Every structure is written in C-alpha cells, then in structure tokens.
Homo-oligomer: A and B are copies of this chain.
Amino acid sequence: MKIKRHAKILEILDQHAIETQEELAEKLKEAGFDITQATISRDIKEMKLVKMMDASGRYRYSKYRDEAVPVNERMMNVFREAVTHIDYAGNIVVVKTLSGMAHAAAVTVDLTEWSEIVGCLAGDDTIFILLKTEQTAMELVSNLKKYIK
C-alpha cells in the first residue's frame, strides 16, 4: 500500500497547493487512503519531499528537484558488479570497490559530466571523488547508491 500511497502523494502535490501534512492527510483520505499525519511525516522523509515558500509567499510541499548525475549503461554495470560501499566526508566521496576494480569504476565516474565533480582518483579498491561542496557530495552519494548491490 505504501507504494501506491507514495504515487498518490506525488499526484496530489502536483495538483494541489499543500501547506501542511494534515492537509495532505485529508486529501489522501478522500482518495481512500486511511492514514494519519505520522505516516505522512515518514513518507515525506522517505520520499525526500520538501516544504518551501512558493510564489505566493505561503508554504508548500513539493518534490525536490534533483540534479541527477548522468549515468550510462556502462557505469550502471560496473557499479553493480564492483562497488561495495559508498560514503562521504566533507566534500569528498569515497567509493569502495572489489580489489583491483577501482580504476574501472573511476573511469566511468570521470566520464559523467556532472559539473560539481572536480576530480577523481583511484587506488586499487578505493576511489576518491572530489566535489565542490559537502552538499553536492551528499547528493552524489545519494545518487550513486541507487546503482550498487
């Protein structure tokens, strides 16, 4: 049910200016989902939705507009095969790979054209990716994690 509810939430946010979680709960109830504000709070966290001021000066929940890292088929394959762990510290993202695979994985990272990536260095089983800010490092981790395991 959670999946369907999440889909419905996106639909509702696109169609109505939702200012509070209670309001969203209302709409969901109208749509036949019987849930409480607590669940909405968890959904919002999980779905990475955000509350921000809109053009009319009021608050509004909306999708976070994610600047996705452009990935290609090769990168997806290499990551699925070779990457074991991804994390970051400050503005550096650290990618751990199976032994000897770091170089191959790093090449695919180099090939992306994400302007926030300053540079990328591979050892035997570790890659350091230098980003412009911690904020973007966090986003890169979030993006890359989709492709591992």
Contacts and interface: CB of A to CB of B under 8 A. Distances in A.
Nearest to A64: B52
Contacts of A134: 14-17
A53 B63 contact: no
Contact of A50 (B14, B46, B52, B142): B52
Q: How many copies does the complex hold?
A: 2
A142 B63 contact: no
A50 B59 CA distance: 11
Interface of A: 13-17, 45-46, 48-55, 59-60, 62-67, 88, 133-135, 138-139, 141-142, 145
15 contacts: A14-B133, A15-B134, A16-B134, A17-B134, A45-B53, A50-B51, A50-B64, A51-B51, A52-B64, A54-B138, A55-B141, A55-B142, A63-B135, A64-B64, A65-B66
